[in-house]
């Protein structure tokens, strides 16, 4: 029992001593998601003074389909960032395609200064491989830059 307690304390100490620990966010489905998909996933972001690298892993999407993600600034439509319909930050765009099982992994880098006022990160169905959004977003998380 004593050893277990020490182990637990050691884990907490390690976690609090890691300054570059990437924040992790849980994605929540958005109302713009087409019927028949149930996106589940997480977003992690690791940043230094100049660059933020963001990775999103999502399952439950449509198979073999392009998706596009961005950071967004706060909009006026709602006080919930994910419902605020805020302007996207184009330089943060990441485009990717799901596999046959509807799983998507996106990784992209953006200047940290570009997303300094971001309040949410979301993923839209993309009309094409260029990242033209096809809807208002299928899954989203608020973020703290
Ligand atoms: Cu977006």
Average pLDDT of the residues in 139-144: 96
Output the CA 61–ligand 1 centroid distance in Å: 16
Cα(76) to ligand 1 centroid in Å equals 15
The tens digit of pLDDT for each residue in 46-69 reads 988 899 999 999 999 999 999 999
| Residue 126 within any structural domain of the chain | yes
For 15, residues 6+ apart whose C-beta sits below 8 A from its C-beta are 21
Residue 58 lies in a domain: yes
Measure 101 CA to ligand 1 centroid, in angstroms: 23
Residue 16 is assigned to a structural domain of this protein: no
For the chain, report the end-to-end CA distance as a whole number of angstroms: 40
Domain assignment present for 17: no
Distance CA 75, CA 70 (A): 14
Task: Assign residue 54 the CATH number of its domain.
Answer: 2.60.40.200
Distance from the CA of 73 to the center of ligand 1, in angstroms?
10
Residue 12 forms part of a structural domain: no
Tens of pLDDT, residues 13-34: 444 444 455 679 999 999 888 8
Does residue 28 sit within a domain? yes
Distance 1 CA to ligand 1 centre (A): 48
Q: Which pLDDT score is estimated for 48?
A: 85
Give pTM, 2 decimals.
0.84
User: How many structural domains are present in the chain?
Assistant: 1
What is the distance in A from the centroid of ligand 1 to the CA of 35? 19
How far, in Å, from the CA of 14 to the mean position of ligand 1? 34
Instruction: Give the H or E element holding residue 37.
Output: none
Residue 114 lies in a domain: yes
- Where in the sequence is the domain holding 27, given as residue range(s)? 22-142
Report which of 117, 57, 114 is spatially closest to residue 81, judged by C-alpha positions. 117
- Residue of 120, 64, 123, 113 whose CA lies nearest to 93: 123
């Amino acid at each position: 029992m004593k050893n277990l307690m020490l182990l637990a304390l050691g884990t907490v100490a390690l976690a609090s001593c890691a300054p570059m620990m990437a924040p992790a966010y849980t994605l929540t489905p958005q109302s713009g998601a087409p019927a028949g998909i149930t996106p589940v996933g997480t977003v992690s972001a690791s940043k230094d003074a100049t660059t933020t690298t963001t990775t999103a892993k999502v399952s439950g999407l449509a198979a073999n389909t392009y998706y596009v993600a961005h950071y967004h600034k706060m909009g006026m439509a709602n006080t919930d960032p994910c419902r605020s319909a805020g302007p996207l930050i184009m330089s943060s765009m990441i485009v990717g395609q799901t596999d046959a099982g509807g799983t998507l992994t996106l990784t992209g880098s953006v200047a940290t200064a570009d997303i300094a006022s971001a309040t949410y990160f979301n993923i839209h169905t993309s009309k094409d491989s260029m990242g033209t959004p096809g809807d208002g977003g299928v899954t989203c998380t608020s973020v703290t830059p």
